[in-house]
Structure 1
Amino acid sequence: METISVTKFDVAERQLLQAIHMFFREDDIISTHTVAEAANQVLSDIGQEYQVKSFLRDSDFIREDKKKLWLKEIFKSRNFFKHADRDKTDIHEFKSLFNEFSLIDGVTMYSVIKKTWVPETLLFQVWFSAKHPDLLLDDSDFKKQILSGFEDRRLISPDDMKTWYEMLISMRSGSYHFDAVSLEYGI
């Protein structure tokens, strides 16, 4: 019987990286969301120690009197997937787009806590910027530093998930290397 010792960060890291793999493999979108949101909750909780804020959970742009409503909407899918105490017969409309924003939130918190990129987080950031180029600030550090190593990202369609996943596997195996990317787990 195998036993392993893990920290809360270790758990969140495993969940987030697995959710990114699931996303690129186009596995079940509900399972991907559930795993990503589990990671995000832990990252949000331990992130307080690192002065890390979730831009979805802790947004400074939401009025204080609307924060409860905002969080209810943000967590609607997550809560529907986890609980059945009040809504056993309800039907929930889930959009796969929710996973993109859940994962980018987790990747952002994770990267600040870890203080480095891993293949999964870097590649998801690059994919997200290719999918949503209009959301990135033109003069952001991310766009200047990281994307410069992925000039050919525009040649890979954000919809070509098979190629993105193959690139992820190549990076994780160490055969496609970037100086700013670590293959190590943990903090």
Structure 2
Amino acid sequence: MSLPITKIEAARSQLETAIRIFLTDGDPVSIHTLTNAARGILQDLGSQRGVRGLMEEAIANVDPHLQKVVREVVARPRNFFKHADRDPDGTLVFSADVNIANILDAVTLYQELTGETPGICLAFLAWFFVRYKERLREAFSKSEGAQAALDAVEHLDPKDKASFLEWAR
């Protein structure tokens, strides 16, 4: 079966699958690999349109002499999961929490490039807002829309990530 697919459709498919795995507490390596595949496409499309993701914006604010090192640290897990030519017997201590930042970066890039927020991306954003509401409280207070969004999902338990999938349906 032949399936014509655009780059943005491929990125969306990878991102939605990664989020579904994340919200059902699935395999963190698969989440990381899928998210970074989507981010790679979205970053390439963004660079052609002058759009930078959250991570690129953050790295741009790092001392220019350290930016290469920061990029290498960020890329280390992605490269480890993708290649075995340099260290076929290597081991990586992987923090699955990095998946949260990667998914957030990919979701916001996707939104910026398409003007859309697919339902499953909305479920992730809702989980993120509830999970980190204390840290985001000041930002919420400055935006009626953000506060209303938080109010709509604040009753959900961030430990039960799958409940956000149900909410978004």
| Fold equivalence (TM over 0.5) | yes
Measure, in 1, the Cα distance between the counterparts of 2:36 and 2:135.
22
CA contact (8 A) 2:127 2:161 kept: no
- For 2:158 and 2:133, the matched residues in 1 are separated by 11
Q: Which runs of 5+ in 1 are unaligned?
A: 171-187
State how far apart, in whole Å, the 2-side matches of 1:71 and 1:157 are: 34
Measured after TM superposition, the shift of residue 142 of structure 1 is 9.1
Give me the identity figure in percent: 26
Pairing 1:132-147 to 2, within 5 Å after superposition: 132-136=132-136, 138-139=138-139, 144-147=144-147
State the 1:135 CA deviation. Answer: 4.0
After superposition, what is the alpha-carbon deviation per residue over 1:95-148, rounded to whole angstroms, capped at 9, x for unaligned?
A: 121111110010110011111222122221121111122443624699531441
In the other structure, the counterpart of 2:122 is: 122
1:108 corresponding residue in structure 2: 108
Offset, 1:54: 1.8
Distance in 1 separating the partners of 2:155 and 2:105: 25
Q: Secondary structure of 1:151's match?
A: helix
Give me the whole-angstrom Cα distance separating, in 1, the residues matched to 2:140 and 2:113: 19
Q: Name the TM-score, length of structure 2 as normaliser.
A: 0.89
Paired residue for 1:17?
Answer: 16
Q: How many residues align?
A: 168
Q: Name the CA distance, whole Å, in 2 between partners of 1:93 and 1:42.
A: 26
What stretches of structure 2 of length at least 5 have no aligned partner?
A: none
After superposition, the CA RMSD in angstroms is 2.0
Worse overlay, 118-127 or 15-24: 118-127
Aligned residue for 2:54, secondary structure, equals coil
1:177 match:
none
Distance change in 2, residues 1:18/1:151 (3 Å) = same
* Counterpart contact for 1:57–1:71, Cα < 8 Å: no
- Quote the residue 1:53 is aligned against: 52
Q: Whole-Å Cα distance in 2 between the matches of residues 37 and 70 of structure 1? A: 16
Distance 2:31 2:126 in 1: 19
1-side partners of 2:17 and 2:141: how far apart?
27
